[in-house]
Amino acid sequence: MVSILGVKQKFMKKISNGVNNKNSYLKLNYKPNHSNEIIATFYGKSKSSLSELTKQVAAESSIGTWTKLSTLSDKVFARLAARVFYLNNKTGIFKIAYPLSLFEPRNIPQLLSSIGGNIFSMKAVKNLRLENIEFPKKYINQFDGPRWGIEGIRKILKIHNRPIIGCIMKPKVGLTSTQNANLSAKIFKNGVDLIKDDENLTSLIFNKFEDRVKKVLALKKKVEQETGQRKIYAFNVTAPVRTMIERAKLVKKSGGRCIMVDVISAGWSAVQELRNQNLDLIIHGHRAGHSAFTRSKKHGISMLVLANLARLAGVDQFHTGTVVGKMEGSAEEVCRVNDLLKEDWKEFDKLREDWGSIKPILPIASGGLHPALVPKLVEILGENLIINFGGGLHGHPQGSIAGARAAVQSVEATIKGIPLKIYAKNHPELKIAIEYWKA
Ligand code: CAP
Ligand code: MG
């Protein structure tokens, strides 16, 4: 009789021998081909040996499995196997090159099923984090990317030299469609450029999507005529795909400019489908749920990878964090992500990774923001972004209209380089806001 321990040892042996030794997935002298391979950077921690782990990750995420395969020829291995070409045992960082033939064009779900899939479940893995993906130009240029991007959004709004001021309707859900429309019109009238539904407001019994679209857009049109300013309302279309597309088409037909989608809960397939409809709408990407796999620095998928995928999928503006607000995210991480989204790589032909015609996209700072935080926020993240106020606008002691004014005044003061306390002397709404919330 074989003891349980014996079975386990035998099993472990099989696993550790589980890659084709002759054609190893670990090739530290391998020079990756940046025009024909996708390069993924991982952090890993193994229960035994890191180099063994990297082989298993490369196998499972490309063509292999836990044992040798009679069906896998040397020829196929040479053409399609992923190669671990960099490994640092001290930091746990390793890099894998994946031949482009492993990936279907324009298919983000398939990409993730490969390099962001089974590997996270393997018993040999103690920790594994997909830190970065570098795509060859050939892969990137199969996608259309964002329809509008930074330039397009700024052109629509005719705002070129300051952050775009956004507002999230609050409570998250609870307002009727009429209340929603009336309040958003007042907020628009008091200087806010963009208003969005919250991530869990879709079509609810007291605030049906169709009613909201009709009422909000009718009043928005009036405000635009009165003020001569352009405004954007981001309607949250998140739903099963067919419904989502119907909702997006309704926004288009009703004269709207923008839809919002919760990219994680709806899924990349849904986001790609929205973009592929070519409705000419701005796509506002919310990332609710991302921290389930981005937050740990040891295991999961990084925000940087998510931001890359959002840009490929065609999102025009994307939530990336605030540093100073209520959500987790260090200055270093948020700046790196924002820089990546904003970079217009058309100008940098020599970079290995070239996004070609894929437009740069606008980062959105949202979560726990109020007027007193704006100078610090802009100091860290710069002026090329959307600044969203939810609680920090509707929670103003004098209500949402005063809140909108205070938000606008805080951005004005910051752009002019005037300390909020000084600006507040002639701006009573700002004065109340900074006394109430403080920095
Ligand atoms: C902000 C918000 C945003 C989150 C998203 C919320 O409201 O509407 O969805 O900030 O986070 O519901 O919390 P407040 P992130 O302004 O009232 O905080 O942008 O980091 O993904
Ligand atoms: Mg929200």
**Which residues carry out catalysis?**
170, 286
Q: Give residue 3's pLDDT.
A: 40
- Is residue 376 packed enough to be buried (19+ CB in 10 Å), middle (13-18) or exposed (0-12)? middle
Residue 23 is predicted with a pLDDT of 63
Please report the pLDDT score of residue 345 as a whole number. Answer: 54
pLDDT at position 12? 41
Strand order in the sheet with 37-46: 83-87, 93-99, 37-46, 125-134, 300-301
Query: How many angstroms separate the alpha carbon of residue 348 from the centre of ligand 1?
Result: 34
First to last CA, the chain: 70
3-state helix, strand and coil shares in percent for the chain, rounded to the nearest 5: 45, 15, 40
pLDDT < 70 stretches in the chain: 1-23, 344-356, 439
Amino acid at 273: E
321 pocket-lining for ligand 1 (C-beta < 6 Å):
yes
**Which pLDDT belongs to residue 75?**
95
Encoded tokens for 401: 């209209």
CB 232 within 8 A of CB 257: yes
Give pLDDT, residue 298: 97
Question: Ligand 1 centre and the CA of 323: distance in Å?
Answer: 12
What ligand is nearest to the CA atom of residue 171?
A: 1
> Which residue minimizes the CA distance to atom 10 of ligand 1?
367
